[in-house]
Structure 1
């Protein structure tokens, strides 16, 4: 991760709805190149870029993630925090989501539709 990266976002999102929401709100991100020797079942990994105004960025990201979670049943967002702990993001706790995003190293967005799509290929 680069020093200007807020956190890494791993996507299992077959419809690319997270990326669309980031683009719609002008959240800056960059795609990470695939450098693994083995095939891993992820759509893509991106780095969310920090800004001069992190409070507004976090506020926008909270609304994006809540909107994404509410978009379909059984979607999950899992975060690895700087202290090494793993937590799930709850769409009903925006204060908790804010805390998590301020302390996240990596967030994984998982839409169960992903399993269906790769199973049908």
Structure 2
């Protein structure tokens, strides 16, 4: 019985260390990929939440010079840069104003206050 407990305890410790090594390897790989993408002009964020654009990278001295605002630079340690900011995808504006245009004329149609009130009451009665 005690041998089985030792075996179970040993397996638990083995799996715990194995998972920890795997996580460390993934973090190392992610860090290396991020360091490769650090080139001048790249927008980045530091560990303490400072946003800027990379001006230069000195890998030998582990330094990154960042431009925080036009003419204002800061030198930080290479490990302080934790994230490369990807440009956001442009927002797509849906064309939901089609109900306001007159399809025959192709121009915007103005609605009188009476028509607006009638339309809203009809939508309310229909449960929209």
The alignment's TM-score, normalised by the length of structure 1, stands at: 0.30
Q: Greater share of helix residues, 1 or 2?
A: 2
Highest Rg: 1 or 2? 2
Query: Higher relative CO (CA 8 A, sep ≥ 6), structure 1 or 2?
Result: 1
Using structure 2 for the length normalisation, give the TM-score. 0.29
